[in-house]
Amino acid sequence: MLAQLLHAYGEAFPLVRSGGLFVGIVGLAIVAGGLRFGWRNAILGVGAAIATTATAVTAARFAAPFGAPTLFQISDLIAAVALEGAALAWAIPRFRPGGERAITLAILMIVAVHFVLMAPAFGPLVALLGVLAAINAYAGMRFGALSLRAIWVADGALKVAIGAAMLVIAS
């Protein structure tokens, strides 16, 4: 019964496994950046490049057992990424005067919201990730005593956990 439910998730959201791979790899890069905090952006950049390559190589194979994603799912993914890019282009110069903490938390919040927008493409797990990541970013905004490193690592850990769940959910 559980196997049927998990397979049905994959049929409803054929992109879920490749999305999970991407999110999990980026999450690992974020966690690694927490270990070398001064290098976190460079580590994240390398992780994103690896995640993009790995996803490009495996996406078709991961989706194959479940069929092709719908045009709506593909459009949703493209729109969510485009909106994220536009929001980042707006937020980075706006929050830069507030310093490293302000800009980092704004970026984490924008990324979190873009995950919620991706729910039609990847399913409720990515929406859950978005909500939890937004709560994490908001906690950093609301409680200045929380260390930026701890918020960064928590964000990465959420991405690793939910990315892994997305990767194996339909296997």
Cite the beta strand spans of 30-104 per DSSP E: none
**pLDDT above 80 (res 1):** no
Q: What pLDDT, in 10s, does the model give residues 78-109?
A: 999 999 999 999 999 999 999 999 999 999 99
- How far apart (Å, rounded) are the C-alpha atoms in residues 120 and 137? 23
Domain that holds residue 10: 2-169
- How far apart (Å, rounded) are the C-alpha atoms in residues 89 and 86? 5
Question: What is the pTM for the complete model shown?
Answer: 0.94
Residue 67 burial (CB count, 10 A): 11
* Whole-number pLDDT of residue 135: 98
Q: How many domains does the chain have?
A: 1
Tell me the two tokens of residue 157: 């850990």
Q: What pLDDT, in 10s, does the model give residues 107-148?
A: 999 999 999 999 999 999 999 999 999 999 999 999 999 999
